[in-house]
Amino acid sequence: MHPRQIADVSKITVAEILARKGRERVPVLTAYDYPMARLLDEAGVPILLVGDSLGMVVLGYPDTTHVTLAEMVHHTRAVARAKPNALWGADLPYRTYDTPAAAVATARELIAAGAEYVKAEGGQEILPQVQALQAEGIPFMAHIGMLPQHVLEEGGKYRIKGRDEAGRQRLLDDARALEAAGAFACVLELVTPPVAAEVTRETRTMLTIGIGSGPDCDGQVLVTPDLVGAFPWFTPRFVTPRAQTGAQIRTAVGEWVRSLQ
């Protein structure tokens, strides 16, 4: 039986997602185009994200800082055509939310393209932006810990966060402030597992979504090509691919080419 025949096919909302906190783990995956969004939705993934990770795994950029708003809008429109039952949203790309007014303008473009929420990186330093988005009624997902849009500022290295007391306290303070500002969820990227677990316990009205941050968050997010082996040239250490579609594509195409000889 098809997964969507046995699952609740009603449109998933922010309220429904928040009701899962403390009750069940929430899976989150990235989607960048129409067919992948349909496949993930049919598999029952409740939250999808048009992540700016598309810069690397789709567009071939070295990091997310090269992704433009026009590119994000393009991919958001593609996912919108799949009409997912999942709750789905999109990243605000690098330097498009430096001010509250810029954050609102960028978010409006992505919402107009079909996104149901937006995500941005940062803690207390972006609270005015978060508050401005809330004033507009735009659901917001936060992102703290390792911030990919700031990787160049960290010397090009993805560094684990929360290893010392100052780092732990900063993460807790950021999470509490973002929750108070109205974020419905917060990605914790490369946060030490004990601190990620503490943030999860400390928050009541905000879902924590881990990536490389241990098993104790409310949910887990992965870049879909990492999960299915579709980007075989690099796999993060914390990911165990569940398929090797890149290798399968090479094999299938190679067999077809040889069949024509």
The residues annotated as belonging to the active site are 189
Instruction: Return the residue matching tokens 């990620």.
Output: 196
Rounded-to-integer distance, Cα 178 and Cα 161, Å: 17
**H/E stretch holding 198:** helix 193-202
Report residue 219 as tokens: 């949910």
Single out the residue of 132, 134, 79 nearest to residue 110, CA to CA.
79
What are the angstrom distances between the C-alpha of 233 and each of 5, 49, 186, 190? 36, 22, 29, 21
Supply 161's token pair: 């966060």
Angle (CA) 67 68 71, round 5°: 90
Rounded CA separation 64/166 (Å) = 27
Is 122 in contact with 147 (CB distance < 8 Å)?
Answer: yes
Structure-token pair, residue 88 = 């789905």
Joined together, the tokens standing for residue 225 give 């090509």
Consecutive H or E run containing 49:
strand 47-50
For CA atoms 229, 140, 86, 211, the dihedral sign is positive
